[in-house]
Every structure is written in structure tokens, then in C-alpha cells.
Amino acid sequence: MGKEISKNEALTLIPQRPPFRFVDEILELDENHVTSIYRWSEDHEFYKGHFPGNPVTPGVLLVESMAQAAVIPLALYSWSKEFGREGLSSLTTLFTDVEVEFGGVVRPGDRVTISGNKAFYRRKKLRAACEMRLDNGTVVCSGNLSGIGVQL
């Protein structure tokens, strides 16, 4: 039986790095819930083509951000309790399924809050109900995301 990791440890263990890292800070993390934030930098290269003169953050990147900011930290927390801190180095998270609805637009410079609530965890698979909100409270997207831990 291992020991749970802190929110700062979880942040350092998220495997993605710039320019493909879409979580700045984990505000809360426990066995069942996580809250994180990310500011979409105006310097991201993809804004030049999506869409010229009217830049919008691609939906696929919003989903990726929810995975990085919610599913991965919750999975890391669960794995640390099951396999210990040492066991985390031999696992990585792969997407298994996603079901998301979009209800808003994220523009360059917008800051979002991403929350995730664990729906289930078993056999290294985690499903979370996730939501992304703008600072003004607008729900940008929400849905269920799942990932599974695989041996490296």
C-alpha cells in the first residue's frame, strides 16, 4: 500500500511538457476530486490558423486539457495509493474513451478552471466527470473522460 501524492507532486508527474502541456496549476486534489487552472497563451502557434482573424481554441485541445488537468492527476493519486510513489515511474496514462459536449468558446488569453470528479477507478482505469469553465462562469465543455495506466 502506497501513500497519496500531493497536488504539487501530481503536477510535476504529468508527462506532457510545453508546448503540449495545458495545465498550469492544480488547486485541489484528493481521492475523488481535482481542480486545476490553465491560461491559453496568445502565443500558441495554432491560433494563426484556427481561425485567422478570429482565433478560437480547438475543441480537441480543450479535451486534451481536461485530460491533463483532471484525469491524469486523479489517476496519479489513485496509483500512488496502490503502487507507491516508486511505482508511478513505470506507468503512463492513455486515453480509452471520451464523451464531451461543447457550450462555449475559449479565446487566446482566456483562463479556464478544470474540475474532475472520479466516477470509478478499477484495474488502473479511471473515469472522471470533467468540466471546463471560463473565469466568468461560462461552461465551455463538460463530459466523461477515461484513461488507463499502461506499463512503460
Could you say which of 50, 85, 125, 133 is catalytic?
Answer: 50
List of long-range contacts for 87-90, beta carbons under 8 Å, 24+ apart: 87/2, 88/5, 88/13, 89/152, 90/151, 90/152
Return the CATH number of the domain spanning residue range 7-151. Answer: 3.10.129.10
Q: List, in sequence order, every beta strand (DSSP E) within the chain.
A: 25-29, 33-39, 91-102, 111-122, 125-134, 139-151
- Retrieve residue 2's grid coordinates: 502506497
Instruction: Quick: pLDDT tens for 121-136.
Output: 999 999 999 999 999 9
The candidate with the shortest Cα–Cα distance to 62, out of 130, 136, 10, 125, is: 130
Instruction: Quick: pLDDT tens for 31-78.
Output: 999 999 999 999 999 999 999 999 999 999 999 999 999 999 999 999
Residue ranges covered by each domain of the chain: 7-151
The verdict on whether 44 is a catalytic residue reads: no
| pTM (two decimals) | 0.95
At 152 the pLDDT is 83
